[in-house]
Amino acid sequence: MVSPGTGTHGVEPGATGASALSVSLPHLTIDAHLRLRPGELPGMDIGVPTGLANPRLHKRCAVDLSSHDARWSVAIALIRRLHVLPSDLQFAHSENETQAIAHCRRLLASGSDDEAQRIWKSLIDVAKEVRLRSGTMTVPNLLSSLRGQFGLRHHPDFERDWETLLNITADYKARIETELSSGYVVARTAERTLLQTAVEDHPVTVVFGESGSGKSALVKSVLDGANPSWNQVWFGPDELKTALSAARRGTLPLTHELSLVLNATVKTRNVLVIDSAERIDAGEFIVIRQLLQAILSGDGDETKGAWKAVIVTQTQSGDGGEEPMLGPRKAHPVEIEALSSDDVKQAVRPSPVLGWLAAHDDTVAALRNLRTLAWVVKAGAASRADRPLTGAPVTPRSAQISQTR
């Protein structure tokens, strides 16, 4: 591949790269180290695609190197690797522009013709700007410049990978309960507000608390309730380890490196949730750190800023235990404390079986762990279901056994 600023000395005759030369009809010129023009030079044929011929466009071009005979072989090697791409974009009725707008329509979630014309104009503006700078733009950079203006479909290279990530997320979240079996939802208003603010204001939020305190449930509830338009990607320790392994990610299946897929997001707001981080092997910290560095905002990187990270862990890991995973990056901590006594009382009072517990402070104190409370409420509901209906005859247990013999 010939890079910008590389002269003919930089082209090796045996190289396998190729360069694209886009030209406007009816002129065909390269105003750089080489000038293509009609002439004769053995072995220097350049074909122009049929159907694009123009009376003033010569199909055979040569290199003017009469004063540099020693460079002929190098020049021939260069020319053979140039792909001439004529276009009619300067014409009032351009077939190429019509085709380009049709391609733009396929990029859009809406498929709108008007929006396709707008994205085509935006691409032209991007090309003009890039031409004055580096001359190249990566796919993540281009998506970053467009996703805030248009509702895009996933890039075809990453579409199946995104389907995999969304399925993993849906499966993981489906197993996180946000309400008790009775249907009661613990309000936790103060903690909900604190977590929502932290996630919105900080690139990385570490949510920590005792086992069973309801950390994952609160994170799920806040993200779904306060930020429903955000794109969520959830991983547990096992799924994350597989996704970060080049050898094993195909089993999910993921085709590309996880950081490349995440940076190809078409959403302006995204959040990566790493749950149960206390169970992550220390050997995985380095690759997780590299992942976070690749997707989170950094100075001077225009592709960043679309992602937030939420790390959910137990208290023993929340007090500095996440530092090896984050490296020098600072995280904002949010502690999830045990339920208040009032929360517990409100949860058990409606139950005919468990209502009496609200009057016993020692029992209420033991139920301030959300997981424990959920178990008790579920057991109370099961106990009530096993009781016979009021007024129904009660058959002694011994009689029931003898009848089944």
- Tens digits of residue pLDDT in 264-305: 999 999 999 999 999 999 999 999 999 999 999 764 444 458
Q: Is the pLDDT of residue 51 over 70?
A: no
pLDDT at residue 326, as a whole number:
83
pLDDT tier, 69 (very low <50, low <70, confident <90, very high otherwise): low
How far is the CA of 305 from the CAs of 200, 255, 275, 299, 352, in angstroms? 12, 24, 21, 10, 51
The span from the CA of 216 to the CA of 276, in Å, is: 8
Please state which CATH number belongs to domain 159-336.
Answer: 3.40.50.300
Average pLDDT of span 390-396 = 41
Averaged pLDDT for residues 310-338:
80
Confidence of residue 130 (pLDDT cuts 50, 70, 90): confident
Residue 201 has pLDDT above 80, yes or no: yes
Residue 30 or residue 313, greater confidence: 313
Q: What confidence tier does 385 reach under pLDDT thresholds 50, 70, 90?
A: low
CA angle 137, 138, 141 (to 5 degrees): 85
Find the mean pLDDT for residues 345-359: 90
Task: Taking residues 125-154, report their average pLDDT.
Answer: 86
Q: Distance (Å, rounded) from C-alpha 377 to C-alpha 382?
A: 9
Domain extent listing, the chain: 8-87, 95-137, 159-336, 341-386
Does the structure show a pLDDT above 50 at 59? no
**∠ CA(291), CA(293), CA(296), 5° rounding?**
100
CB 105 within 8 Å of CB 123: no
> What average pLDDT does this structure show over 223-232?
94
Q: What is the pLDDT of residues 6-15, one digit of tens each?
A: 333 333 334 4
**pLDDT over 60 (residue 362):** yes
Backbone angles phi, psi at 150, to 5 degrees: -135, 150
380-403 mean pLDDT: 49
Per-residue pLDDT at 199 exceeds 60: yes
β-bridge partners, 82: 19
Q: What is the residue-averaged pLDDT of the chain?
A: 78
Percent of the chain with pLDDT over 90: 50
pLDDT of residue 9: 35
Residue with the larger pLDDT of the pair 133 and 171: 171
Q: What is the average per-residue pLDDT within 86-106? A: 85
What integer pLDDT is reported at residue 87 of this predicted model?
Answer: 79
pTM: predicted TM-score of the whole model, two decimal places = 0.71
Q: In 3D, which of 306, 239, 223, 303 has the Cα closest to residue 274?
A: 239
Tell whether the model's pLDDT for residue 53 goes beyond 80.
Answer: no
pLDDT band at 202 (very low <50, low <70, confident <90, very high): very high
Confidence of residue 26 (pLDDT cuts 50, 70, 90): very low
Q: With 50 as the cut, is the pLDDT of residue 25 above it?
A: no
pLDDT computed for residue 330 by the predictor: 87
Q: For residues 150 and 119, is the Cβ–Cβ distance under 8 A?
A: yes
Q: How confident is the model at residue 328 (pLDDT cuts 50, 70, 90)?
A: confident
For residues 86 and 184, what is the distance between their CA atoms, to the nearest angstrom?
Answer: 67
Window from 108-122, 152-166, 287-301 with minimum mean pLDDT: 287-301
Give the pLDDT confidence score for residue 322 in this predicted structure. 61
pLDDT of residue 133: 80
The reported pLDDT for the residue numbered 71 is 58
Q: How far is CA 17 from the centre of its chain?
A: 32
The answer to which of 32-41, 102-111, 184-193 has the lowest mean pLDDT is: 32-41
More confident residue, 370 or 74: 370
> pLDDT grade, residue 249 (50/70/90)?
very high
Q: How far is CA 112 from the centre of its chain?
A: 24
